[in-house]
Each structure stands twice: as structure tokens, then as C-alpha cells.
């Protein structure tokens, strides 16, 4: 029965992924009411299956499934999902879904990786999967670096305009509105690639190292950085964070990403032990 609970949780994560897709489309400014309704329907289904998973696991174990990280993570994801639905039913606060949908999806996915995992069918698939993860990370970080550059230029341009200074190379910079728009779009695109890399990397690590991967502090740093990235994009897209505050937030995010990247030097060797 416990294996079935993992099965239901993985199916729930698949339904939650529709919410992730909705959030990504929203970040890219391609949202629509129809997409939200479909994503919300998939989220409802995911919550039902997630509940079935938790109930089956509790019946199998004879206790509340919150004894280790993966069990606690899954239970916490379900509670967050139920709390969101309660808030949505009461206030119809659709914008909150942009933050909650990706968060619940990733938590459910990570929780499902605590169960039995498959083995690599061949070394080429293993290496190809890792390569995809690395490429996605590099593209995401390159886009984030572009975001940081535009944010710095925004701050410089803003200071120049406030001080009413003219002349020099910075007079050739685009208007503040253009720089802010470019920052927002680059941040959203970078988040798409970073999210895909987190999903690919978590799955690869789970197959490669079982449940040991989650105890590595570097993994915790990566997931925390992703949550901060999600928060940064959420604040820009849904709550109107623009200008100076958003630029400073992006620069701080880049600093966290640099720490994450530095901490993962040699990650493959670590997971291959």
C-alpha cells in the first residue's frame, strides 16, 4: 500500500505540473482565463490524489506520515494546497496561484522522490539526462546575468536622471521603462530554464543516489534559491514591483545564485560516490 501512496503522489505531481505551466505562461505574459481554469481543475485533481496518497501512507504506516523529510514535505505541500484553495474560494485571489502552483508542484515532486526509484537503463541515458540539466542551468544563469546587468544599468540611469547629469556613455542607455521591461522579461525566461533544471536535476539525483541527495546542504541551497527566484518573479509580475526595488532584488538574487553555483562545483562527483 505504501508503494501505491507513492504512485498516487507522483500522479498528483503530474497534475500539479499544469499549474506550473500556467505560472510560467503568466511570467511570460501569455496568461489567459481559460488556461487558469484548466490549471485550477488540474490542481483540484492533484489535491484529491495527493490526499489519497497521504491517507494510504498513513494507513500503511499506522501513523501520520511526517517522520522524515520526504513525508513531511509531501504533507506540507498538501496543507499549502488546501490553504490556497480555502483562500481562493473565499477571496478569489487568483494572483496567488502564480506563486503557490509552482511551489506545491516542486514540493510534491520532491516528496515523491522519497519512494522507490527506477535505475538507469543505460549509461548514455544517465549522461544525457545530466547534460540536459547542466545546459538548462547554464542558460538560466546566463539569462539571470543579463537580468542583473539591465538592473545595474537601471540603477545607474535612475541616479543620473535624479541628479540631472548629462553627457557620457550613459546618455546612450535606453529609457528606464525599456530597461525595466527587459529586466522583467529576462527574469521570467531565466526562471523557466532554472525551474526545468531543478526538476531535471532532482530527478537525476534521486535515481543516482536514492534518498541521500536531499541531505546534501548544497541541494538545500539550490531549492532555497529557486524559492527566492520564484518570489522575485511573483513580486514583479503580480504585485507591481518595478523600478529600484525590483532591480535591487534581482541583484540580491544573482548573489544567491552565485553562491549556489559555487557550492555545486563537483556535484556530479559527489552524487556518484
**Per-domain residue ranges for the chain?**
1-116, 120-273
What's this model's pTM, rounded to 2 decimal places?
0.85
Distances 61 to 2, 7, 178, 190 between C-alpha atoms, Å: 8, 16, 56, 41
Q: Which of 67-71, 180-184, 248-252 has the highest mean pLDDT?
A: 67-71
CA–CA dist 253, 232 (Å, integer)? 8
Closest listed residue to residue 271, CA positions, set 219, 195, 222, 197: 219
Per-residue pLDDT tens digits for 53-92: 999 999 988 888 888 889 999 999 999 999 999 999 998 8
Between 39 and 184, the more confident residue is 39
Confidence of residue 148 (pLDDT cuts 50, 70, 90): confident
pLDDT in tens, 68-78: 889 999 999 99
Amino acid at each position: 500500500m505504501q508503494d501505491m501512496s507513492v504512485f498516487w503522489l507522483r500522479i498528483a505531481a503530474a497534475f500539479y505540473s499544469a499549474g506550473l505551466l500556467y505560472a510560467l505562461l503568466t511570467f511570460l505574459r501569455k496568461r489567459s482565463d481559460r488556461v487558469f481554469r484548466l490549471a485550477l481543475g488540474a490542481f483540484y485533481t492533484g489535491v484529491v490524489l495527493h490526499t489519497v496518497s497521504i491517507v494510504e501512507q498513513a494507513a500503511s504506516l499506522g501513523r501520520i506520515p511526517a517522520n522524515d523529510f520526504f513525508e513531511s514535505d509531501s504533507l506540507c505541500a498538501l496543507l499549502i494546497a488546501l490553504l490556497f484553495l480555502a483562500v481562493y474560494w473565499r477571496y478569489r485571489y487568483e494572483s496567488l496561484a502564480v506563486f503557490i502552483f509552482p511551489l506545491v508542484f516542486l514540493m510534491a515532486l520532491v516528496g515523491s522522490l522519497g519512494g522507490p526509484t527506477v535505475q538507469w537503463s543505460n549509461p548514455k541515458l544517465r549522461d544525457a539526462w545530466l547534460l540536459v540539466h547542466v545546459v538548462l542551468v547554464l542558460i538560466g544563469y546566463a539569462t539571470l546575468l543579463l537580468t542583473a546587468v539591465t538592473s545595474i544599468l537601471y540603477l545607474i540611469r535612475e541616479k543620473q536622471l535624479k541628479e540631472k547629469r548629462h553627457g557620457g556613455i550613459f546618455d546612450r542607455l535606453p529609457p528606464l521603462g525599456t530597461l525595466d521591461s527587459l529586466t522583467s522579461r529576462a527574469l521570467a525566461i531565466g526562471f523557466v530554464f532554472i525551474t526545468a533544471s531543478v526538476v531535471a536535476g532532482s530527478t537525476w539525483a534521486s535515481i543516482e543516489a536514492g534518498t541521500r541527495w536531499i541531505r546534501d546542504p548544497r541541494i538545500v541551497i539550490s531549492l532555497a534559491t529557486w524559492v527566492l527566484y520564484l518570489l522575485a518573479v511573483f513580486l514583479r509580475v503580480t504585485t507591481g514591483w518595478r523600478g529600484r526595488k525590483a532591480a535591487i532584488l534581482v541583484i540580491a538574487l544573482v548573489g544567491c545564485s552565485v553562491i549556489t553555483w559555487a557550492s555545486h562545483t563537483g556535484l556530479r562527483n559527489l552524487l556518484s560516490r
